[in-house]
Amino acid sequence: MSRVKRGTISMKRRRNILRQVKGYRFARSKKERAAREAIVHAGKYAFAHRKDKKADRRRLWQIKIGAALASSGFSYSKFMGVLKKKNIGIDRKILAGLAENNPRTFSQIVAAVKE
């Protein structure tokens, strides 16, 4: 039976790991074990912060809608409650975009809700 040399496989694995940590600082970009740990931590942070980003966006939409409603005498919570009661199915992302970019359209929606 012939001998199998495994250097190419392990080098390929090491190369892939070190490619993923390109740009990291100190040992994390040079040493395999530190690089592997850095990849695991980076993955955890990326997963958690994707969730955080969604919450941050929603908070920003609420602030934009509330700021646009300030002149009409509506509070954000009352406005959203009336929207839900009247079955107007516009989500916060669209409302925030309208409030920022198309104030006239947003005021029409507010007028429709006030009726």
pLDDT in tens, 67-85: 999 988 889 999 999 999 9
* Distance from C-alpha of 96 to C-alpha of 93, rounded to nearest angstrom: 5
- Sorted by where each starts, the structural domains of the chain and their CATH numbers stand as 7-114 (1.10.1900.20)
Per-residue pLDDT for 32 more than 90? yes
Per-residue pLDDT for 92 more than 90? yes
Token digits for 36? 């592997």
SS3 114: helix
* Distance from C-alpha of 63 to C-alpha of 99, rounded to nearest angstrom: 11
pLDDT at 6: 82
Over residues 52-76, mean pLDDT? 95
Structure confidence at residue 38 as a pLDDT band (50, 70, 90): very high
Per-residue pLDDT for 39 more than 90? yes
Q: Which residues contact 93 (CB under 8 A, 6 or more apart)?
A: 57, 61
Single-letter amino acid, residue 14: R
pTM value is 0.71
